[in-house]
Each structure stands twice: as structure tokens, then as C-alpha cells.
Structure 1
């Protein structure tokens, strides 16, 4: 597997260089940016390579796949697992058993289910609120005007810790403008919850725009792992 490790190492260097350049252009410190490598559809062996290469955060989208993969990891204690996919309330309790961060909280029912699940597992979960920037069906996210009440609900949940907000750029339109709107939402949340400092935004194609608008966490998959493997 040396070839695959070397491939991942090269792509990881390229992405980190892009992050450094984007941070410099924005007048920011690259050390303030956290890379979350999105490993959905890729095997646990890839995650093990990434951890060996210094990656400390991975992102997963599907509960069944994520749970099985996390259980296989050789160095589970060295990696923070972010659940970033749309979450159903009946799966939330299970996700709370292995994820360290849930980035896709977008409605009260999910807050309640995650809180109960985390309590049952004896854990405290970090939570990000997913903000819908385009109103498109099927992509998840709460409307910007719904986010403050959701933040209050998470902040009052004993087994959850409100960390900030997350969003996906609209399929059509200017990602920079969308991330600027997200930054406004983040500023509003921090006014009432000063510790909610995380902004998860930006992926392989638009991470520079996200860094320019204050993102703290970048979710990058394809640029590091390559195209998704065939599922057929």
C-alpha cells in the first residue's frame, strides 16, 4: 500500500499549500485552519494512512458506513470523527456513540435525539448547526432566521456542546457571496454564544473562498482522496 500512501501524501501537501496561500491572501494564520478530510466511500486503510500523515479530523456522511469504518481504525484515539451528512432522528442515537462532532444539526428533533443518545453513551458531543444558504430541497440545513433558536436549544442540552455553524455552498451562484452570508450568521450566533467560534465551510473546489470569509474548518475529500470508488 506504499503507492496509495504516497499518493495521499502528495495530494495532502497540495491541499495544505492551497490552505497556506489562501490564509496569507486573507491575512490569516494558516494554523487557525482545521482540515477535515472527507473519507466517505473510502476504506479504513486510507484513513489509517491519513492519520500516519498527520490528519487528525475525518468526515463521514452515512451512519452504517461510518460506524463500521471507525471500528476498523488502527489509531481511533488519534482522530476526531465528524459526522457531516444529513441525519435522521432515528439514527442520531447511534451516531452519538462513535462521532465526536456532528456538523449537520438543522432541526429541534435532531437536537433532542442527539442529546439523549450522547447521554446514553456517556459522552458529550460537539455540535455545529447546518445553515441552508440556497433553500434547495434535499441538502439539509436550517434557514438563517431559524438558527438562533436552534443555537439556544443546543446550548441548553446537557450532553451537547455548541461549537458553531456549517454550510455547503449553493450548487449555482457565487460561493464567496454565500460564505459571506454564512459569516454574518456566525457573527449573530457568537453574540449570544461566544464559544461558538467554528465555521465549517469550503470543500475541494471552493476552499479559498471559504478561508477568505472566515472559515475555520474545511471539508476536503476529492482533492485528497481522488474520485469516489465505484460502488457497483
Structure 2
């Protein structure tokens, strides 16, 4: 943007323009560039109104006029909650169900400044003195994430517990469960491999199933005896001695 030409110099150029002086002479006498004098000459010839009037309204990029209802909603929230800043007001506008794109926080700050409602008055809530844990397992932090999209398009949630002192992850639970975690299988397990006989359904009567050792035999009258062994050979087990006492099974 070119530098502004002061009004007294503009008046001098206007007077010399009316006297018929050329651009080069005026630029040399007033120590101005030829481009500046030519631009003023073009304006003197094209404008019917006051040629010396400023045109500051043409500077900068034209911004669209904001929606008046939105501006009033922002100002009303500040009047009802004087301690709310522009960022919090923007969040509350979206939470209140306002449709459409919202202006930036800086735009809301300009609206509040024009209405003499900015900045927010001092008197913030005093911050609490929080001390970080000095020993492991002194403080655990819990972090939750909800509906995080994966590359496959599935959305998952997780809950994680982290030790504040060491930063170690102590426990993580992902929802829904993965393929190797408890839950319903995502795919059919398929048929039985070749050479392996299917187990089939269970029977009500175990039939040929072996009983547990000592089950149903009761305790011998003269104390415990050998429960397994060979009649000959070096692996024969000796009869067990009588213990002080046994619990009944």
C-alpha cells in the first residue's frame, strides 16, 4: 500500500494542477515520485466530488457484514456471564445448537470490543496447587477415548490407566473386544481339520470316563495305603505311613 500524502501537499498539487503545471515539474519541486503525482492527477480528472477528500474506506479487504442475530447472541452471553471469554462463548454457541459455521475467536473479540464488553473483567478463579506424584503408584490417571475412527472405518473406544510418576501404562481396555479377547467371534471357526474326529455333543452319562483317584472307595479301616505302583522292579512304591490326620473327602 502506498504511503499517504499529507493534506497540505495534496492541496498544493491541486492548486498547481489547476494552474496547468505538468506532472514532472510538480514531482521535482515537491520531491515526490512521478507515480504519486500521476495518480492524484487521475483522481482530480475523474472525481466530481471533493478531490481532496480521503478514501480510507477503500483500504483493506472488504469483509462481509456479520449476521445481526449472531452478534446479539454473543453480546447477550457476555452480559449474562461477565467472566466468559470469547473462546468459551464460541463453545457455548455451538453447544446451544447454533447451526452453520461460527466466526473465529478473534472475530468475537472484535464484536465485544466494539460493544465495550471486552476484555473480560479480572477475578479469575484461583488455580489450585497441584503436585505431581513423587513415587510410583501414588497417583493413577484415567484416560478415556470415545468413537475413535480406525483405517477400516470401525469406531472404537478405550479406557486406559497410567501411572502419573513413571508414565507407565498399567491397564487398557478396548471396546469392542478384539479377536483374542472375551466376546463373540467375528468370523465362523470353520470345519474340523482332516484326520481329526469331531468331539460331538456331550452325553448325560459320562460312561467310560475314569473316576478320580480315591473317589467312591472310601477310607480304609486301617489307614491309607499305596494308591499306585508296580509289583516288581525298582519303581515300586512303598506303602505310605499313617499321617497324623486327614480331612474327609
Q: TM-score range by the shorter chain?
A: under 0.3
Query: Higher helix proportion, which one?
Result: 1
Higher relative contact order (CA 8 A, sep 6+): 1
TM-score by length of 1: 0.19
Larger Rg: 2
Query: Higher strand proportion, which one?
Result: 1
TM-score by length of 2: 0.18
